[in-house]
Structure 1
């Protein structure tokens, strides 16, 4: 593309409110195989569609993850969950990734660990379909259902690691989220109930029966929710600690079952 046309593309994206207009222009140019396709992709982005849906993928932990429209877009801060999980697990762990969305965390775990088995689950059929595409070629099963419900019963008490990037935005705060999220991503992936912890409380209560002795649960939460969430996890019989990454504005809550 000629410099003048490239500059026009950047200007159009910037006028639409794209903070990283130059970077987005390069990605759109790389994704378009014709001027007509570039126009279509740019129109979608300018109309407010998330860049990841326009491109069809998102980068997460150095990996390119397919993201279908409506499926939760993996956030950079969630890489903290993957890093913490990799620190906690011993050799050949049994791992389950709940609320897996596109399967981004599942794929990242598959590349970081050497699990005895690795499985994922999500309640949203669109997310399950997307995750299954992303784990193709990996030894991973993706289940459709509510939290632990679709998992094989004989896994109870045998899981070394449960990861869950469950929704934790309070219901009243969903309307305050950026339009890219609240208008395009599935509400079930965002809305965490009145205080944002409805799903995470259930994850903790149920995880206590699924974790092996000494097994770990790792979840993401908002910094203002940590004290309440820790109390709920400890009430379920788990011990807790917190990791925070200021650069990514990320908070991970770790919980361990008794040995």
Structure 2
């Protein structure tokens, strides 16, 4: 509890003294483009995908079914929560400064994953039941909407699995920009596409979900950058990983005075 209370205290003090700096990203324009793309896919692609899916080879569908469950949020939330609890059970004050930094970074990393996946999952869940779009398996039309029906068969738009994949892809690309987009983006897109192949969602559902996952993760990273956790702000608006963020103790000691548990040296 002492570790957690100290973390909360630091976060509250940084929120109080650091102004919000999120205006460099053109959010209105991006949202409009995103909505137009989703609507265009809904009108021109969703119907074609229904007939296209009926002619897919059974082996290809079987492979998609084997991969599709990797889009569940539990794959990210459960390990991250366990890691968060485990690291915070350590006696941080008994650790050396270097290992204390490792514990701090692992805590931030676990909380970042939980926050990004949790925010995208909550947003998607609310939209699903507010919109109430019928799933393709019901065969009741492309534009069958039953708001607030609270029925899983009318929770097609947007795709929760695709949102998790969008969040996962963005997390990796923000943390490891040099190779993340090449290693993770194709896999996450494929898992999002499997939702279409198995008949659980229309293409517009997957596009909407993936985009929501991306947006929610960027927002989470911007908040973390404001707090000085993991990321820092840049002139372009997107946050980048701080040089002090390491998950291993084998790195060179940064120049300048050493800091305690929450170093401010690399913070803007």
Which structure shows the bigger proportion of residues in strand conformation? 1
Which structure shows the bigger proportion of residues in helix conformation? 2
Q: Calculate the TM-score normalised by the size of structure 1.
A: 0.28
**Greater relative CO (CA pairs within 8 A, separation 6+):** 2
Q: Calculate the TM-score normalised by the size of structure 2.
A: 0.28
